[in-house]
């Protein structure tokens, strides 16, 4: 098929690679423009931009899609379909109507649960036992289009957003290839029940509330790992906690021990991976060898 691909983060890379390996003609890749990143705030191209260049595919990085120039450009490509995976821009109606087979989106949830920007984060943070991948026909609404194919995936007790994202990205790429190979035009409207929205994660909501139960805090930590990371304050130092496990210990809420146990509103967590500002992620045993924690100290 003659395809246009629109995507930006690492999550989209397996789908692009799968299309290329299955001999689809990828006419052009659209991705977000380079953004400042890292300590030096140097402009960095997206994961998809880098992958497309390595494959020798034409890349375009418009700030907006809803311009006459871009719409005419896509018209001239005459794509059979447009594939969208975590692109980061809403497609205008004029573009949605261009491909003869339509626009397909890979979304990392079982719609209509967790429509929006952060479905993997939210599914783990809220303690969902299952999630999945949906491939839908795109329409103007936010993730409201009919479902062409979907697959359920269990969320494991040690899954983080990073690990689950990798699994879902690979599953989504496999489903996409199946859909394109066997597309009949059939789809199923989303249920009107169970609609939830996975709003973009705000920095203001990433601080740990130690009064919550250990189970809730563990989900919160794993759902924000690796990025942006759940954090707490110890003696004025901001610490990111990136992996934990629940224990049945009891104690004063927020108290931390030298063994990495932190007491919660109910039970406790054991810190498995942690990060200081400007330092690499460490296991607790490595961290505590170079960081002092006294008895009866409380995290805030």
Residue 296 has pLDDT above 90, yes or no: no
Amino acid 35: pLDDT: 85
Amino acid 286: pLDDT: 97
- In order of their start, the domains of the chain are 2-181 (3.40.50.170), 203-289 (3.10.25.10)
Residue 140 has pLDDT above 70, yes or no: yes
Residue 295 has pLDDT above 90, yes or no: no
What global pTM score does this model have?
A: 0.94
Residue 64 has pLDDT above 90, yes or no: yes
Amino acid 39: pLDDT: 67
- Do 105 and 143 touch, CB atoms closer than 8 A? yes
Query: pLDDT tens digits for 229-269?
Result: 999 999 999 999 999 999 999 999 999 999 999 999 999 99
Question: Which of 272, 278, 276, 270 lies closest to 291, judged by CA?
Answer: 276
Query: pLDDT tens digits for 153-211?
Result: 999 999 999 999 999 999 999 999 999 999 999 999 999 999 999 999 999 999 999 99
Q: State mean pLDDT over 89-112.
A: 97
**Average pLDDT over the chain, rounded to an integer:** 96
Query: pLDDT tens digits for 275-284?
Result: 999 999 999 9
Amino acid 179: pLDDT: 97
* Confidence bin at 40 (pLDDT 50/70/90): low
Query: pLDDT tens digits for 6-26?
Result: 999 999 999 999 999 999 999
DSSP secondary structure, 242-287, as one string: EEEEEE----STTBB-TTSEEE-SBSEEEEEEEE-TTS--EEHHHH
Amino acid 263: pLDDT: 98
Q: State mean pLDDT over 141-158.
A: 97
DSSP secondary structure, the chain, as one string: -EEEEEE-SGGGHHHHHHHHHTT-EEEEEE-PPPEEETTTTEEE--HHHHHHHHHT--EE--S-S-SHHHHHHHHHH--SEEEEES-SSPPPHHHHTSSSS-EEEEESSSTTTTBSS-HHHHHHHTT-SEEEEEEEE--SSTT-SPEEEEEEEEPPTT--HHHHHHHHHHHHHHHHHHHHHS--S--BPPPSSS--B-PPPPGGG-B--TTSBHHHHHHHHHHTTTTT-EEEEETTEEEEEEEEEEE----STTBB-TTSEEE-SBSEEEEEEEE-TTS--EEHHHHHHSS---TT-B--
Amino acid 42: pLDDT: 82
């Amino acid at each position: 098929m003659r395809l246009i691909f629109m995507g930006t983060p690492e999550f989209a890379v397996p789908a692009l690679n799968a299309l290329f390996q299955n001999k689809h003609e990828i006419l052009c890749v659209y991705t977000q423009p380079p953004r400042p990143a890292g300590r030096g705030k140097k402009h960095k191209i997206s994961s998809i931009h880098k992958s497309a260049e390595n494959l020798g595919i034409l890349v375009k990085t418009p700030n907006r899609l809803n311009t006459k120039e871009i719409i005419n450009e896509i018209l001239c490509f005459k794509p059979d379909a447009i594939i969208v995976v975590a692109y980061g821009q809403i497609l205008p109606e004029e573009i949605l109507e261009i491909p003869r087979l339509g626009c397909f989106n890979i979304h990392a949830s079982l719609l209509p649960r967790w429509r929006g920007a952060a479905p993997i984060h939210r599914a783990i943070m809220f303690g969902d036992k299952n999630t999945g991948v949906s491939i839908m026909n795109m329409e103007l609404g936010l993730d409201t289009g009919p479902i062409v194919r979907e697959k359920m995936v269990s969320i494991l007790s040690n899954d983080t957003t990073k690990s689950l994202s990798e699994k879902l990205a690979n599953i989504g790429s496999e489903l996409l290839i199946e859909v394109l190979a066997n597309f009949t035009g059939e789809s199923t409207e989303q249920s009107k029940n169970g609609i939830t929205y996975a709003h973009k994660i705000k920095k203001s909501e990433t601080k740990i509330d130690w009064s919550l139960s250990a189970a809730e805090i563990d989900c919160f930590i794993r759902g924000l790992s690796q990025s942006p990371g759940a954090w707490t304050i110890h003696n004025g130092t901001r610490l990111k906690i990136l992996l934990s496990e629940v224990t049945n210990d009891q104690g004063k809420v927020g108290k931390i021990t030298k063994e990495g146990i932190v007491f919660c509103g109910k039970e406790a967590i054991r810190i498995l991976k942690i990060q200081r500002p400007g330092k690499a992620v460490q296991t607790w045993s490595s961290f505590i060898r170079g960081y002092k924690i006294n008895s009866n100290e409380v995290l805030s």
